[in-house]
Amino acid sequence: MPYSAEHREQTRKQIVHNARRLFNRQGFNGVSIDDVMAAAGLTRGGFYKYFESKSKLYAEAVLLILSEGPVTNDNGGIACDSPDFASYVIRTYLSRQHFEDIDAGCPLVALPGDVARSDTLVKQAFETVFKAMTGIFEGCLTDGHRGDSDRALAIASLCIGAMVVARSLEDRALADKLRDTAVKFAHELGNWK
């Protein structure tokens, strides 16, 4: 039994990690298996020792935001069902840093068009991430809005929509305005300060 299971796991992680970065930046069709493997320090041929297909890798890369995203691992020290937490998430999501950091950014922003044209597995991965996001917002609703899952859907849609559009505009000033505006109205919808 040569090579440890740990070695295999490590290599696999390297591949998915780099795939996520590349897919986020270039989209599904813009990234080749060569690209992914080279970024992981390997060559083309070994890919199918780890993944059944490019599509399966894609689905896994989309899910990576949940385990390696900025929000899940680091709550900024705030209780995860408080208005402050919602505010923190919104401001982080719509920050200039997230706008620019496409590599490690949210796949909901970088890949929706791609995903709409992909297979079931990929859409399910996308859905899982989206539900995680709306779940966060729903958990932070208080007062008369507690448990208002529709409201959480709307807030998430607003945040995602604003970022998606912002990244597709040529006018940087308008993109900035769009982010700021979305922060403001997301707070308004959630009744957060």
CB neighbours of 12 closer than 8 A, spacing ≥ 6? 50
C-alpha–C-alpha distance, residues 176 and 163, integer Å: 10
Residue 188 neighbours by CB distance under 10 Å: 11
CB-based contact 168:101 (threshold 8 Å): no
Among 16, 19, 47, 110, binds DNA (CB under 7 A): 47
In this structure, which long-range contacts are made by residues 7-13, counting pairs with CB atoms below 8 Å and at least 24 apart in sequence? 11/40, 11/42, 11/50, 12/50
CB of 80 to a copy of itself, least distance (A): 22
CB of 64 to DNA, least distance (A): 18
167 closest CA partner among 69, 61, 94: 94
Q: How many residues are recorded in the chain?
A: 193
Q: Is 3 in the site for DNA (CB under 7 A)?
A: yes
Q: Is 33 in the site for DNA (CB under 7 A)?
A: yes
Please choose which of a copy of itself, DNA, none residue 79 contacts, taking the beta carbon within 5 to 8 angstroms, the exact cut-off set by kind. none
CB of 83 to a copy of itself, least distance (A): 19
Among 15, 22, 37, 182, binds a copy of itself (CB under 8 A): 182
Q: Is 53 in the site for DNA (CB under 7 A)?
A: yes
Q: Is 39 in the site for DNA (CB under 7 A)?
A: no
CB-based contact 112:167 (threshold 8 Å): no
CB of 25 to a copy of itself, least distance (A): 8
Residue 169 φ then ψ, to 5°: -90, 155
Which 8-state DSSP code applies to residue 147?
T
Question: Which residues contact DNA by CB under 7 A?
Answer: 1-4, 7-8, 11, 31-35, 37, 42-49, 53-55
Question: Which residues contact a copy of itself by CB under 8 A?
Answer: 25-27, 29-30, 108, 110-117, 120, 123-124, 126-127, 130, 150-151, 153-154, 156-162, 164-165, 167-171, 174, 177-178, 181-182, 184-185, 189
